[in-house]
Amino acid sequence: MQTVSRYLLTNLVIAYINGYHGRNSKVYDRRLQLFKGASNPITFTFKNEDQKAQDITSKSFEFSLIDTDSKKAVLTRNLTINDDGSTFSTKGTASVTITDGDLLSLDSKFYNYAVREIISDGSTTYFQVTYADTGYNCAGSVELIDGAFPAFAPSQTVESFTGRTSNNPFPLRFTSSATISAHPGQNNNEKFLGFKLKISSINGITNNCVHT
């Protein structure tokens, strides 16, 4: 029998509100890894240049995943503030969960990420930089990995139906030399299959009707 260890870890990232002041410098932070096929929770700790967690109870932050080729943000999410102002273990922390659906359309490759503070004075909203290290680098690195979990199987489309006699209780029939797989091994369900029927014309009346 094979015995395998799995680890329930907090994906913790340090972000700096202030940059390098000559003390306790940290010149880089580790690369983030995100996995397609599952949700990826990430926790950020906001520190100053002395590596001390800062009070962020009244702050708001935005996480952006940036395509390194197009330089455009492909995913933007607001962080949830975990800091309640009194609990030591959550001081300076905020989190975000990147879901399977968020990553579904993205290519597996390297991306950059950034976290910026959202500041509003009541009439104007602007953004302030936070840093990935104490060397004033604001962008972090993300590797999006595919293959660790089962891949999404797209729906199959069937369009070639043939009409049957009007008194037949089943007026439409689908014929094919191939099979339509429900992928039971992937969805862990061998008994149920959902389908959607789109009707474009009924008794001469053209309309787009969807039945499930």
Q: Which residue has the tokens 């060397």?
A: 135
Separation of alpha carbons 74 and 56, rounded Å? 26
d(C-alpha 93, C-alpha 24), whole Å: 20
Neighbours of 130 (CB within 10 A): 21
Q: How far is CA 73 from CA 49, 63, 111, in A?
A: 28, 10, 10
CB contact at 8 A, 144 and 36: yes
In tens, the pLDDT along 185-205 reads 445 455 556 666 666 665 554
Which tokens sit at 85?
Answer: 């102002």
What's the number of CA atoms in the CB half-sphere (13 Å) around residue 36? 15
Q: Are 175 and 162 in contact (CB under 8 A)?
A: yes
pLDDT at position 169: 59
Average pLDDT, the chain: 77
Confidence of residue 1 (pLDDT cuts 50, 70, 90): very low
**Residue 83: is its pLDDT beyond 80?**
yes
For residues 72-87, give the mean pLDDT: 95
Q: Domains in the chain, start-ordered, CATH in brackets?
A: 12-145 (2.60.40.3350), 161-211 (no CATH)
